[in-house]
Every structure is written in C-alpha cells, then in structure tokens.
C-alpha cells in the first residue's frame, strides 16, 4: 500500500481542533497518532489500522454512560476517526474512515461548535515517542508548538491496566504496606512482560525498535516509576508526574563499563511453542537475514535515593518465551535467622505479585507449617483476583480514553518524563549498536536466555519462572 500524499504534510495540521465537547449537539472526535520513523516507502495495511478502532472504544464508553456525552456525533458526513499508525520520518496527524481507509488531514473535518459551550481539544500520542532522547525532544517541541502540555496525552496502555492503577491504591490507601516498602525489607523488584508470540506482522516496526525501545523504555519504566515513587501531595496529574520524574532522575546512569554487566539482549532462534514449530526471528517475513535486533531485553536498574538505595529493579521482556504474562513481583528479604533449619534448611522467599495479565490480581507467598508432628514448612499463597464474579473490567485503552475525555492526565507521560527515560536507555542502545551483530540467541519456547541469570547476582531467590 503506497503512502497517501497527504502523509508528507508537516505538523501544521495540529492547529486544527481535534477533540471537542460538549457541544449542541454533542460532538466527540478522538484522534490517536503513532509517530514512528520508517525507512520503507510502503507498509502493509494491517500495520496502519489498530485492531480496535478508537471510535469503537469511545462508543463502548458512551453505551456504559461513563462519559458526559449523550451520543457520538463524529462529523456531518458520517466519517469516523480511527487509529492510524504513522510510519513517516516526521510526525503528523490524520483522520480516516471507520475502516482506516482514505487518510486525510484533520482540517478536512467540518467543525460545528456552539459559542455558548466550553470547547477543548486534546491530542493522544501513542508510543514510541521518539527513537532516542534527541528525537523525543524534537517531537516534544513540534507538538508543544501547537498545543499546551495540558492538552497532550502521551498514552501508554500498560498504565490503563487495572492492576497497575491498583498499585497506587494498595500503596497509599493501606498503612500495612508503607513500613515494608523500602530497602530495609525489600530485596529486589522484578517487572516482567513475557510473550509467547513472535513479531506477527510488525517486522517493519520491530526491526527499528527492538525489545528495549518497544517495551522497557516505555511500559516497564513507567510501571517501575509507579512502584518506586513517593506519595504525591494529591492525585492531580502534576503531583503524580512530579513524583515519577523524581524516580527517573534518581536512576543511576549507566557507565560504558557497566552495560555488559547490567543489561542482557538476545534474539529468539527456531524452536517450539506448545506443539508448534516456529521459525527464528531472522526467518520471519520482513526481517533481515543478519538482523541484530533484540527480541529479549533485561536491564538491572538502581535507584539512588533514600528509600531504594541498594535495591535492584530488574526489568525483562521478550518474545517467543514459554508463557504469556505480565507481572510486578516485590521480593522481600529473608528473615535474619532461620529458626526452623532442622526441617527447612532454606526458607522460601516471600513474593508480593501484582498480575497485570492474564487473570489480573495480586498474591502474597508466605511460609507456613505443614500439618503434622514436625516443623516442616510449605509455601502458602494468598491470592486475590481483582474481577468479581459476574463483573468485567474495562480494557486499558477504554480506561485511558475515558481519562482523556474527562481531562485526567495522571496516567499519561509528561514531556520531561519521556526525555528522562530516553536519557537513561540511550547509553544502552549506543553500546548495543557498537557491539556488532554477534547477538546471543535463545531457542523459541525456552526460558534459558544467555546471560539472564548473571543479571540476578546478589539477589535472593533468582528469577521467577517464565511460564
């Protein structure tokens, strides 16, 4: 599919209103953009249109009565807005028909606004926001030339997951956790996003991004900031973002000599997922035969502040792994003395796990006595699912679009947050780029990734299982 000539237009389209409300009749127009640099002149249609168009999500919100609008009124000619990915070298905004066809400038939409009603416009920008710190800073300047920061919503769907949003509630609405949430009781933190699928149809994007850009710089570092942040003075967007930014600024910079010890990259080779034989990454359609793009990335971060000094934060993500799950695991220190060493030479570690997907919820593992006449111990897992019987949880995008419509920006990244996260990972990207094409490989479907165990040096209990 060749590019529409409109896609070469600059960012001046941003001067067009994009989200209005409320009007009479109510008018709601939501636009997401995805700024990505791409070398290819042609892209597949499937890479341009999101599987769940924005208008469908908003219609669900309207049907559930969760937004202050009566009916969706997209435009006079019946065109809907859909999610359209941007693979041009420069960011731009387009609208499209409901099926993603006929992309055109936002200025082509008729505008119907009553002067008696409050009018607002907001832009939602998908990740990746830039490809490094310099490009993110440039993109911020471009967008801020047409929008105030309060109108810009850099969306990260992981922050819309119920389990992630519950983190702040568990931490700041319960006194039982706060005394434990520090270097005195926590040994380390593991944040994992594991996928059993490959790159699917995303070779054009993934060949430029890789696992570090795709997942760690955005999703996982944002989640890490929520885990590590101090209590905000209020739940307003400014206060929450300020605390997240403090975490990012406290992360120890990577010296060139530390990157080999504190980071791991690898690429999946051929293997088996369940009963299916799957090809290596380099054998996927659209992937270079000598590609050195990582499909697995793990990074050991240190936050140099009073609360977290000496507590490693280990972030890992990968494709073609044994299982599909996302979780945050808080691993506590072992007791200073084992009183039960006669029957239990080594005590099992205590993990508090927040499951992001699937089966959202939390669990706490503890040691308990086995029934009987001895003091043998066994692990006891207390599990608390989030969903109640007969209820359903909203999708992450549904939650975040709801927040955009209401003007609540707590779960969206601010410009300085994005630039700070890129500043942290840029040295890793540079070092990996200079290391040549001798990237380690792991068999698809295997949990054994070269170098991953060494990243856990000095941490209690090792990695949690990948299946």
396 neighbors 158 (Cβ within 8 angstroms): yes
Q: What percent of the chain has pLDDT over 90?
A: 39
Three-class secondary structure of residue 396 per DSSP = helix
**Among 147-151, 209-213, 403-407, which range has the highest average pLDDT?**
209-213
Q: Structural domains in the chain?
A: 5-154 (no CATH), 158-395+414-456 (3.30.360.10)
Which residue, chain included where needed, has tokens 């945050």? 328
What pLDDT, in 10s, does the model give residues 341-381? Answer: 888 888 889 999 999 888 888 899 998 888 887 888 888 89
239 neighbors 411 (Cβ within 8 angstroms): no
**C-alpha to C-alpha distances, 414 to 125, 296, 347, nearest whole angstrom:** 11, 27, 43
Quick one: pLDDT at residue 33? 41
What pLDDT, in 10s, does the model give residues 127-181? Answer: 778 888 988 888 888 778 777 888 888 888 878 888 888 888 889 999 998 999 9
The two counts, helices (H) then strands (E), for the chain are 9, 15
Catalytic residues, by residue number, are: 219
Q: For the whole model, what pTM was predicted?
A: 0.79
């Amino acid at each position: 599919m060749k590019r529409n000539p409109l896609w070469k237009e600059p960012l001046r389209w941003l001067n067009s209103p994009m989200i209005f409300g409320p009007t009479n009749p109510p008018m709601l127009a939501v636009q997401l953009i995805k700024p990505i640099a791409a070398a290819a002149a042609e892209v597949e249609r499937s890479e341009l249109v999101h599987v769940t168009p924005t208008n469908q999500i908003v219609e669900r919100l309207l049907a559930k009565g969760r937004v202050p609008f009566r009916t969706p009124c997209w435009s006079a000619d019946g065109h809907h807005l859909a999610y359209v990915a941007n693979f041009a070298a420069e960011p731009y905004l387009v609208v499209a028909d409901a099926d993603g066809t006929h992309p055109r400038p936002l200025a082509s939409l008729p505008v119907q606004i009553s002067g008696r009603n409050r009018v607002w416009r907001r832009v939602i920008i998908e990740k990746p926001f830039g490809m490094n710190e310099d490009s993110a800073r440039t993109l911020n300047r471009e967008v801020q030339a047409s929008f105030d920061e309060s109108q810009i919503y850099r969306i990260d769907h992981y922050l819309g997951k119920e389990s992630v949003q519950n983190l702040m509630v568990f931490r700041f609405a319960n006194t039982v956790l706060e005394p434990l949430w520090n270097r005195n009781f926590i040994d380390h933190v593991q944040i994992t996003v594991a996928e059993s699928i490959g790159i699917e149809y995303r070779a054009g994007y993934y060949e430029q991004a890789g696992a570090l850009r795709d997942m760690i710089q955005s999703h996982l570092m944002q989640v890490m900031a929520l885990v590590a942040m101090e209590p905000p003075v209020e739940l307003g967007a400014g206060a929450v973002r300020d605390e997240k930014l403090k975490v990012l600024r406290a992360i120890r910079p990577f010296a060139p000599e530390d990157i080999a010890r504190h980071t791991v990259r690898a690429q999946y080779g051929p293997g088996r997922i369940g009963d299916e034989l799957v090809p290596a990454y380099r054998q996927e359609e659209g992937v270079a035969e000598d590609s050195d793009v990582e499909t697995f990335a793990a990074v050991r971060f240190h936050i140099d502040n009073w609360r977290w000094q000496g507590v490693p934060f280990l972030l890992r993500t990968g494709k073609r792994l044994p299982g599909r799950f996302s979780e945050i695991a808080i691993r506590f220190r072992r007791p200073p003395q084992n009183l039960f060493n006669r029957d239990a030479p080594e005590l099992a570690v205590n993990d508090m796990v927040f499951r992001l997907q699937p089966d959202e919820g939390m669990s706490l593992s503890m040691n308990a006595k086995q029934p009987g006449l001895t003091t043998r111990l066994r692990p006891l897992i207390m599990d608390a699912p989030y969903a109640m019987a007969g209820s359903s949880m909203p999708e992450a995008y549904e939650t975040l679009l709801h927040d955009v419509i209401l003007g609540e920006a707590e779960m969206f990244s601010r410009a300085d947050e994005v630039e700070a996260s890129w500043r942290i990972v840029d040295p890793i990207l540079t070092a990996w780029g200079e290391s040549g094409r001798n990237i380690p490989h792991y068999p698809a479907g295997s949990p054994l990734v070269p170098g991953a165990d060494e990243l856990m040096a000095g941490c209690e209990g090792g990695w949690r299982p990948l299946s």
